[in-house]
Structure 1
Amino acid sequence: MSGKTLIEIPQHGAAFFASDLHLSEHTPKTLDAFENWLASVAQDGALVFLLGDLFEVWYGDDYGDRTIERVAQAVQSAQSAGARVFFMHGNRDFLLGESFAESAGLELLPDPEFLMVNHHVVLITHGDQLCTDDRAYQQFRIQSRSEQWQAKLLALPLEQRIEMAKSIRSESKMHKANSALNIMDANRQAVADSFQGKWPDGYYVGKSDVILHGHTHRCAIHPTLDSKAPEKPESTQAFLQKGLRIVLPDWDFDQPEKNRHTGGFVKMLSNGDFSLTLFNRAA
């Protein structure tokens, strides 16, 4: 992070953060909600951060369907309204490349990335790297982020990639079902180390005051390292403080769990005020 200019929120604007929408042909209601939400926040001075797993799966930039087209159109409309839309890869859409990003109007971000908000350094990440207890996944992550591995995969025929993705997804579901719930959550020591600048991959990325991520589907505002996630998080407004960890909610308007929020987002202002807005609970 040394020598790097951190992203700043315009004084007259705001930053919006969302993740884990898992959009596909099977999520028409969630796609509608995303389009409406993006249109509602897109204006001059708005920074929109989509922190991974925007799509359920990404086979390569040479694949297209109506869902992908509509997302691209929504991003382009947001751009036209004066917003900048950023995208960070998740564990489902890590193959999304520069070709699609450029055509859609998405600005690709490294993971992690940093913002400066009212003298606070805010680290933003998808969040999967913080789940260090899930060692099998972390091994796959290292392999799948290799440029050589990706180039070899993307050189395969599209039909073969689709079949491979289905197989990997099936294995992932089985792994989740057979794993303890806690290994799918952020590891406490990994979070503590990340605040001090030591990223789970071993690199020093620079200290941060606030960490904001998705991935775990365990929406919460953690004021301290030891504070537990609430069983039923609620919308809230607060002010950035050192040691704060914000976990974004996942979205699901198509098959939501009973009494669980269908999605939500975080809004942050340049003065450090932020709010977590959660959409209605499923009936």
Structure 2
Amino acid sequence: MKTNPPSPGTTGRTFFVADLHLTDERPVATGRFFRFLQQDVAGADALYILGDLFDAWVGDDHDAQVAHDAARQIKSLVDAGTPVYFMHGNRDFMLAARYAAQSGMTLLADPTRIDLYGTPTLLMHGDTLCTDDTAYQTFRRRVRHPLTLALLRRLPLALRHRLARRARAGSESAKAGKAAEIMDVNADAVAQVLRAQQVSRLIHGHTHRPAQHRHAVDGQNCERWVVPDWYARWGYVACDATGCVLRIEDL
């Protein structure tokens, strides 16, 4: 079940991460994430994971060690008083209620609008903003259909793993043949969602192009924050009552 989070208080900080792509084959990123939870996020108002926490997710019976370890680390943070919210990405859209309960995370819809210290803020994974990539958008609509998800979850675990590996390989091959701008967000799509949601701030991931952007929408100055990936680097966006900052560091 997905829900809307309560507004944070007027003190403290709220953290946003995305595109960690955790896997057993990348222990450095996993260790960095766990230290981030323990050293940076502990005591914060909230942590929002805006998709692609895992490099692949084949169902809530996912048997990778990193899935079990991450659940324990996140649950420890939640039990200590910091809520964690999770929004699906294009790699872990099959994560469901069972794992959310195990890890203590609250599932969020994409997009989700929150009041962030008095500023209306829209949270997205970001892939739906890449409207120039029509082939991906078509694939996304098909694979996210409830019937497709139900069928996928009924497949044997080993088969789901093989399908996930094939999908990742196909994705990498497809990206190699696309122009870089096609895989970035479309400016008109950004303006449209800011206008429709009546917000002045957007925070998202997916593109792996961390930055702060400014957009003028109907005469209003809006800001867009892109959260970094966790490959050669790591980082986050953190917001408080004074605004937001982007932090990027090497792994």
Q: Same fold judged by TM-score > 0.5?
A: yes
C-alpha RMSD of the superposition: 1.8
Give me the whole-angstrom Cα distance separating, in 1, the residues matched to 2:89 and 2:244.
Answer: 23
In the alignment, which residue of structure 2 is the partner of 1:250?
229
Give me the whole-angstrom Cα distance separating, in 1, the residues matched to 2:56 and 2:114.
Answer: 28
Percent identity over the alignment is 36
Q: Deviations over 1:217-274 (max 9, x none)?
A: 0111012359xxxxxxxxxxxxxx941011111111xxx2xxxxx11111111x2422
1:266 paired residue among 237, 240, 245:
237
Query: What is the count of residue pairs matched by the alignment?
Result: 247
TM-score of the aligned structures, taking structure 2 as reference length: 0.93
Tell me by how many angstroms 1:169 deviates.
1.2
What SS does the corresponding residue of 1:41 show, helix, strand or coil? helix
Runs (5+) with no aligned partner, structure 1: 198-205, 227-240, 257-261
What SS does the corresponding residue of 2:114 show, helix, strand or coil? strand
Q: Is 1:210–1:242's contact at 8 Å kept on the other side of the alignment?
A: no
Equivalent residues in 2 for 1:13-32, closer than 5 Å? 13-32=12-31
Q: Is 1:6–1:114's contact at 8 Å kept on the other side of the alignment?
A: no
Q: Deviations over 1:185-239 (max 9, x none)?
A: 0001100111111xxxxxxxx321111100000111012359xxxxxxxxxxxxx
Instruction: List 4+ stretches of structure 1 deviating above 6 A.
Output: none
Structure 1's 5 and 181: CA in aligned 2 closer, same or farther, altered over 3 A?
closer
Determine if the alignment matches structure 1 residue 87 to structure 2 residue 86.
Answer: yes
Q: Mean alpha-carbon deviation: is it higher for 70-79 or for 39-48? A: 39-48
Give me the whole-angstrom Cα distance separating, in 2, the residues matched to 1:67 and 1:89.
Answer: 17
What SS does the corresponding residue of 1:275 show, helix, strand or coil? strand
In the alignment, which residue of structure 1 is the partner of 2:106?
107
Determine if the alignment matches structure 1 residue 142 to structure 2 residue 113.
Answer: no
Give me the whole-angstrom Cα distance separating, in 2, the residues matched to 1:195 and 1:137.
Answer: 22
Runs (5+) with no aligned partner, structure 2: none
* Letter aligned with residue 189 of structure 1: D
In the alignment, which residue of structure 1 is the partner of 2:33?
34
Give me the whole-angstrom Cα distance separating, in 2, the residues matched to 1:140 and 1:166.
Answer: 16
Equivalent residues in 2 for 1:1-283, closer than 5 Å? 7-44=6-43, 46-197=45-196, 206-224=197-215, 242-252=221-231, 256=232, 262-269=233-240, 271-280=241-250
